[in-house]
Structure 1
Amino acid sequence: MKLEGIEARYLRMPHVEKGMAVGLFGGSFNPPHEGHVLVADIALRRLRLDQLWWMVTPGNPLKDHRHLAPLAERLKLSEVITPDPRIKVTAFEKTIGQNYTARTLEIVRARNPGVHFVWIMGADSLQGFHRWQNWQSIARTFPIAVVDRPGATLAFLSSMMAKTFDRARVDEEDAGALAYRRAPAWTFIHGPRSLLSSSALRHRAEAQKRRDED
């Protein structure tokens, strides 16, 4: 059975076992690119994760949807770009009817007792994190790992999240145990950075399309 051309396996939460450490990496992935893969790879290694859920969202409430590719297309591209078997591409939010991270995480926690989850985000998303619905609830649901991105290495310190949860910051050297900590707990992970961005790739594709049409 397919929903809007999406295979059923993408519409279910990935299978996990009690005791696992699992990263949750959500985004529009419009399109997915090597910068996203780099964040996922760093998170898997530094956080010592058993799995990483690559959560392709139906649509980010804070973003313009006019140039949003179909969910089925973004899922297929994500699958192609993530060969690591520990990375599970999923769109289960489509099934549960959620676009808001805070509610999604509550559902994930309720359905997976005994699993140690950590929310993963690129540092470039941190500046606007306080605009997310119930963002403080997100920080109190699961630990958060913020992975370095170009232009955001120092800016994260001035973010509302960093200031609000300053006392909950975990030393980067202890990132491997972050998933097992009680929220709120967060860390900033330095590492290799990619200059790629989804918006830049979309603009490049649109410019090429215009040239082809001329």
Structure 2
Amino acid sequence: MRAGFPLARKGMVIGLLGGSFDPAHRGHVHITREALKRMGLDRVWWLVSPGNPLKARGPAPLSDRMARARALMRDPRVAVTDLETRLGTRFTAETLERLQAIYPGVRFVWLMGADNLGQFHRWERWEDILHMVPVGVLARPGWGVRGRMSKAARIYGGDLVDRGKILRRKRAPAWCFVNLPMDGSSSTAIRASGAWRR
């Protein structure tokens, strides 16, 4: 395995939680632990991205975001990674293609909050993503109904499965919406407060 890349064995099911993590917060930790439990995942990899193509403003330096994420997410089943930087990919679809080539026999599940489902149709090659890997959508405050009414949810409504643990065995396209106790933490609010820089 390449240096700096997490280990994975054939047959593992690994959840991928991508984002700028600017900064990582307890809401990320909460949905990660819930995904591990409710979807029966073997591991979750946080993909701390170099930047977000949908945001005009660039994030804090990657080294700062990685350090905060690693300090916050302390679970042996979770790897905090800079894989997109190492792979040189900018968009999720590219990242998934590369990971599937590097890790043959490993099943990946893309994880996202319901807030991201609401804008998923704006992602580069979003339909390709849905045809590459199953997608686990985790409830976020204020996004339950809006996420389920999004363009992606409407178009792929026939591929919705009713339980998270079924998702790990499904072929794409398949997705689930997991209701869970809410955590209202927000990277935007934390950045606005300046608290994580102190």
Shared fold (TM-score, shorter chain, > 0.5): yes
- What is the Cα-based RMSD across aligned positions, in Å? 1.6
The corresponding residue for 2:120 is: 129
Q: Note the C-alpha offset of 1:43.
A: 0.4
| Aligned pairs for 1:1-214 within 5 A | 12-66=4-58, 68-172=59-163, 175-205=164-194
Instruction: Provide the rounded CA distance (Å) in 2 between the counterparts of 1:110 and 1:177.
Output: 24
Q: Note the C-alpha offset of 1:178.
A: 0.9
Instruction: State the number of aligned residues.
Output: 196
Instruction: Provide the rounded CA distance (Å) in 1 between the counterparts of 2:149 and 2:29.
Output: 26
Q: Note the C-alpha offset of 1:13.
A: 2.6
Instruction: Provide the rounded CA distance (Å) in 2 between the counterparts of 1:153 and 1:181.
Output: 23
Instruction: Provide the rounded CA distance (Å) in 2 between the counterparts of 1:112 and 1:120.
Output: 18
Q: Highest CA radius of gyration, 1 or 2?
A: 1
Which 5+ residue runs of structure 2 have no aligned equivalent?
none
1:18-61, CA deviations, whole angstroms, 9 ceiling, x for partnerless residues? 01111000010000000111110110100111110011000011
Q: Note the C-alpha offset of 1:64.
A: 2.5
Secondary structure of residue in 2 paired with 1:64: coil
Q: Note the C-alpha offset of 1:205.
A: 1.1
Instruction: Provide the rounded CA distance (Å) in 2 between the counterparts of 1:142 and 1:81.
Output: 27
Q: Note the C-alpha offset of 1:102.
A: 0.6
Secondary structure of residue in 1 paired with 2:23: coil
Instruction: Provide the rounded CA distance (Å) in 1 between the counterparts of 2:83 and 2:97.
Output: 14
Secondary structure of residue in 2 paired with 1:154: helix
Partner amino acid, structure 2, of 1:122: G
Instruction: Provide the rounded CA distance (Å) in 2 between the counterparts of 1:131 and 1:185.
Output: 19
Instruction: Provide the rounded CA distance (Å) in 2 between the counterparts of 1:54 and 1:92.
Output: 9
Partner amino acid, structure 1, of 2:151: M
Which portions of structure 1, spanning 4 or more consecutive aligned residues, are displaced by more than 2 angstroms? none
**CA 13–177 in structure 1, closer or farther in 2 if over 3 Å, else same:** farther
Scaled by the length of structure 2, the TM-score of the pair is 0.95
Scaled by the length of structure 1, the TM-score of the pair is 0.88
Instruction: Provide the rounded CA distance (Å) in 2 between the counterparts of 1:118 and 1:179.
Output: 7
Instruction: Provide the rounded CA distance (Å) in 2 between the counterparts of 1:141 and 1:13.
Output: 21
Q: Note the C-alpha offset of 1:65.
A: 2.8
Partner amino acid, structure 1, of 2:25: H
Q: Note the C-alpha offset of 1:135.
A: 0.2
Task: Give aligned-pair identity as a percent.
Answer: 43
